[in-house]
């Protein structure tokens, strides 16, 4: 058995399991007011995701694999923009950002201070802005 384990990876050390992304679901218009209020004391991020878009799926996987921001530094919201179109539209109006998908928006003191989309979205870029 030893030779098969070494040939086929049986002796590899187990990979360190990463903590799951601390997503908060964004599903209501009322949450947007709370996000604006909470952003006065702690930055808030909204990730707008299209569940039917391959690029959006790729970006969220990459983000989740890289993400290591302490939950005490940032709240991060997940918005399924297909299921909650009205909420997605209101995000743009309330925080004065042009709709894109996928899109990451960072809010501080009730104002969007950073917005990126598609391949420009990264955990590192987000961490640098908080």
pLDDT on residue 77: 98
How much is the pTM? 0.85
pLDDT score at 79: 97
Helix 29-38 crosses helix 85-95 at what angle (to 10 degrees)? 40
116: β partners: 104
- E strand or H helix at 104: strand 103-108
**CA 3 from centre of chain:** 43
The mean pLDDT values, 10 residues at a time, for the chain of 130 residues are 55 62 96 98 97 93 93 96 95 93 96 94 92
pLDDT for position 30: 97
d(Cα 42, Cα 6) in Å, to the nearest integer? 49
pLDDT at 119: 87
**Helical segments of the chain, H only:** 2-8, 29-38, 54-66, 85-95, 123-129
Backbone angles phi, psi at 33, to 5 degrees: -65, -40
């Amino acid at each position: 058995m030893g030779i098969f384990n070494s040939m086929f990876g049986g002796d590899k050390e187990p990979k360190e399991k990463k903590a799951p992304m601390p997503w908060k679901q964004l599903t209501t218009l009322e949450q947007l007011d709370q996000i604006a209020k909470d952003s006065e004391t702690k930055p808030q991020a909204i990730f707008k995701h299209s569940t039917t878009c391959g690029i959006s799926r790729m970006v969220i996987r990459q983000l989740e694999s890289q993400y290591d921001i302490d939950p005490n530094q940032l709240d991060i919201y997940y918005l399924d923009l297909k299921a909650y179109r009205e909420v997605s539209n209101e995000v743009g109006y309330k925080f004065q950002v042009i709709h894109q998908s996928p899109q990451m928006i960072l809010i501080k003191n009730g104002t969007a201070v950073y917005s990126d989309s598609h391949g420009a979205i990264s955990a590192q870029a987000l961490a640098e802005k908080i």
